[in-house]
Amino acid sequence: MTGDGPRRAPGRTRGGGRASASMADVARLAGVSSQTVSRVSNGYAGVNEETRGQVLAAMKELGYRPNSAARALKRGEFRTIGVITFSLSTTGNVRTLEAIANSAAHQGYAVTLLPVAVPTEDEVRGAFSRLEELAVDAVIVIMEVHLLDAATVTLPPHVQVVVADSDAGDRYTVVDTDQAGGSRAAVRHLLDLGHRTVWHLGGPEGSFAAQRRADAWRAALAEAGRSAPPLVRGDWSAASGYEVGLGLAAREECTAVFAANDQMALGLLRALHERGRRVPEDVSVIGFDDIAEASSFLPPLTTLHQDFAEVGRLCVEAVLRKMRQDGPERGTTLVPTRLVQRASTAPPPGHPGAR
């Protein structure tokens, strides 16, 4: 047989089976350059959607799979960011993780998630070791608990790390919501309505965010010359807000409550309703987070809006800068909160303007 036999389609063997397609095969089928195929396979911007669709369709038809290991060796990076988190049960952590994943994808990076059940130094070191085995370029740690505050706990010095939601700004690069500013805004809002003081339904004792919000609550009351009622704590859940709320509902002097998150505020609303305390006519309630359901609470919840998307974007931006060695080694970036006023806050009973 001579070389004049039938030509095979790209990606096909003589027997009709599928062979390993090359980038050049994809480029020919899509009618583009190999460089364009490379940009699409690496997730780079700058390729119009029509061309990107043609390249992806050609990849699918030929069964082309980019060689991730070869690409990583060639450019010296894996284009993957590791994320360590200690809980996926809280709204803040889940929404921060979602924002990090979306922002990383926009930059052409994948995310490898490694949940850690117990926030101890051994678990942290073990998590970094596992992430190194999984080939990541850098790590973002969502660390709500008080762990990095302890001088005995350190992160591996050779890994580029950004920390979200932690009080470790003098030792690491940290991105966080302005916990204190949001809490002060909540207290000022309730005092401006005419309440004599503000009770606080705080988060768990081991949480950095809960501690920062509680400290700011006390400070705001002190600055206004008001005494702080006893701090009561929940565990971020609606169930804990309900249990604590039953006790608060029994206190006639309690006319305003700042809940450290919206889920506990939801449980508090139920407890007040069951005990015959009207919201906001008898008790005003304000939360923190502005979860998607907050406007559907009964009554709709006044709360502090956290910009989780911005926190995630800044975490990815900071870790990429550290990888390129053109960003700060330490320090905290705070993302402002915003008061969202709805129907759960009003002047106290007997005050001018009260309902």
pLDDT tens-digit map of 145-164: 665 544 445 566 677 889 88
Pairing of strands 338-340, 302-305: antiparallel
Pairing of strands 284-289, 302-305: parallel
Per-residue pLDDT, averaged over 23-50, amounts to 84
Please report which helix (H) or strand (E) contains residue 239, including its range. helix 238-249
The answer, yes or no, to whether residue 165 has pLDDT greater than 80, is no
The one-letter amino acid code at 328 reads: P
The 10 Å CB-count burial string (b at 16+, else e) for 291-327 is beebeebebebbbbbbbbbbbbbbbbbbbbebeeeeb
Q: What local confidence, expressed as pLDDT, does residue 328 receive?
A: 64
Q: What local confidence, expressed as pLDDT, does residue 227 receive?
A: 96
* Least confident range of 108-112, 243-247, 275-279: 108-112
Burial class (CB in 10 A: 0-12, 13-18, 19+), 180: middle
Give the global pTM.
0.77
Strands (E), the chain: 80-85, 110-115, 138-142, 161-164, 173-177, 199-202, 232-233, 256-259, 284-289, 302-305, 331-335, 338-340
* Least confident range of 46-50, 86-90, 166-170, 278-282: 166-170
Per-residue confidence band for 13, with pLDDT thresholds at 50, 70 and 90? very low
The answer, yes or no, to whether residue 175 has pLDDT greater than 90, is yes
